[in-house]
Amino acid sequence: MQRGRTCSEPTTSNSKNNSFINLLTNNSFISSSTTSNSFTTSLSSINLNNTSSNISSSSNLCSDDSTILFCEWIGCSKHFIGKQNFLKHIQSEHLLPPQSTIDGVNSSNNSPICYWHNCPRGGRPFGALYMLQQHLRAHTGEKPYQCLIKNCGKRYSRLENLKTHTRKHTGERPYRCNSCNSSFTNASDRSKHVERVHGGKKRYQCTECQCAYTDPSSLRKHILNAHGQLEWIAYKNRRQYERQNIYTNKLIN
C-alpha cells in the first residue's frame, strides 16, 4: 500500500512500469489482454519509484481520511481517499471466496495466494482464506482489534494478541507451569519458562567465552559485567538484527 496527501498525479517511471506489466503477464491468472493501452495509461499515472514525502511505503494506515492510499495488489491500480474505503476495496475485491472469484485464488488448487507487490512469500499459497486475510494486515497495516480499557486503546491485527494484552490489565494468568507456581498470560511465555527454568539446557551461549545460560537476561548481565560496554553494544545490535529477521519470517508465513 502506498499513501499520499495530495490529489496530484505523480510522474511516470517507464522502466518500473514496464517491469510491472511484464510481471502481470507472466502470471497465469492474468490474461495478456490486461496490458492493453487503457491499462498502461492508468498504470502510468502512478509513480512506482516515487520516494517523496507525499507518497511512501507504509506499514501503518494513516487515520487522516484525506490520505490517498494505493492498492499494491498485482493487476490492481486503484487508489482511494481514506483508509475505510481502501480496506473495503481489499475485502470486496481481493478476499472473496474461491467459488466467487479467481482473484487471489490459485486456479489449479483453489488455494488463496497473496499477490501483493513484492510480498516476501513469493506466491506460496495459504491453507485457508482467513489466513490470507490475516497476512494482508501486515501489508495494509490494518489493526481491527482495539483494547477497550480506559486510557489504553492499543490496537492489534490478531484477536489472540488483543486477548493476551487485555490480561495485562486484568491480571489474568491462565497458563500455569506444571513444575512450579509460575503462571503466564499466554502459552508461548509458559513454554519459554519451562524450557529455560526446568529444561536444564543452557541455550544462551556467550560468543566471547564458554559461559552459557538458561535465559537471555542472565546472558545480558554476564556480557556487560564480564566483557564491557563495547561488547554489550555489539550484542544489542545482533539481537536487533535477529528480531528483524523474526518479523520478516512472520510476514512470510
Terminal-residue alpha carbon distance, the chain: 19
Q: Within this chain, do residues 67 and 47 fall inside the same structural domain, yes or no?
A: yes
Count of domains for the chain: 3
| Domain closes at, from 174, 200, 226 | 200
State the CATH number of the domain containing residue 61. 3.30.160.60
Low-confidence stretches of the chain (pLDDT beneath 50): 5-60, 62-63, 100-102, 105-108
Q: Within this chain, do residues 116 and 186 fall inside the same structural domain, yes or no?
A: no
Please write the tens of the pLDDT for every residue from 227-245: 988 888 888 888 887 777 7
| Domain closes at, from 112, 141, 170 | 141
Q: Quick one: pLDDT at residue 250?
A: 61
Please write the tens of the pLDDT for every residue from 53-65: 333 333 445 445 6
Q: Within this chain, do residues 54 and 160 fall inside the same structural domain, yes or no?
A: no
Q: What is the DSSP string of 183-250?
A: EESSHHHHHHHIIIIIS----EE-SSSS-EESSHHHHHHHHHHHH-HHHHHHHHHHHHHHHHHHHHHH
CA 109 to chain centre: 25
118 φψ region: left (φ > 0), alpha (ψ -120 to 50), beta (else) = left
Q: Within this chain, do residues 38 and 136 fall inside the same structural domain, yes or no?
A: yes
Q: Quick one: pLDDT at residue 31?
A: 35
Q: Quick one: pLDDT at residue 27?
A: 40
Q: Quick one: pLDDT at residue 219?
A: 87
Element (H, E) at 70: strand 68-70
CB atoms within 10 A of CB 75: 21
The closest alpha carbon to 27, from 73, 86, 60, 92, belongs to: 73
Backbone angles phi, psi at 131, to 5 degrees: -65, -40
Q: Within this chain, do residues 158 and 96 fall inside the same structural domain, yes or no?
A: no
Q: Within this chain, do residues 59 and 159 fall inside the same structural domain, yes or no?
A: no
| Cell matching residue 47 | 509513480
Q: Quick one: pLDDT at residue 119?
A: 93
Bridge partners of 156? 145
Structural domain containing residue 42: 2-141
CA distance 149 to 205: 40
Q: Within this chain, do residues 26 and 13 fall inside the same structural domain, yes or no?
A: yes
Q: Quick one: pLDDT at residue 217?
A: 83
Q: Within this chain, do residues 133 and 242 fall inside the same structural domain, yes or no?
A: no
Q: Within this chain, do residues 103 and 21 fall inside the same structural domain, yes or no?
A: yes
Q: Within this chain, do residues 37 and 117 fall inside the same structural domain, yes or no?
A: yes
Q: Quick one: pLDDT at residue 1?
A: 61
Q: Within this chain, do residues 123 and 147 fall inside the same structural domain, yes or no?
A: no
Residue type, 55: I
Q: Quick one: pLDDT at residue 4?
A: 53
| Domain closes at, from 117, 141, 165 | 141
CB 74 within 8 A of CB 24: yes
CB 156 within 8 A of CB 162: yes
On whether the pTM is more than 0.85, the answer is no
Q: Quick one: pLDDT at residue 236?
A: 85
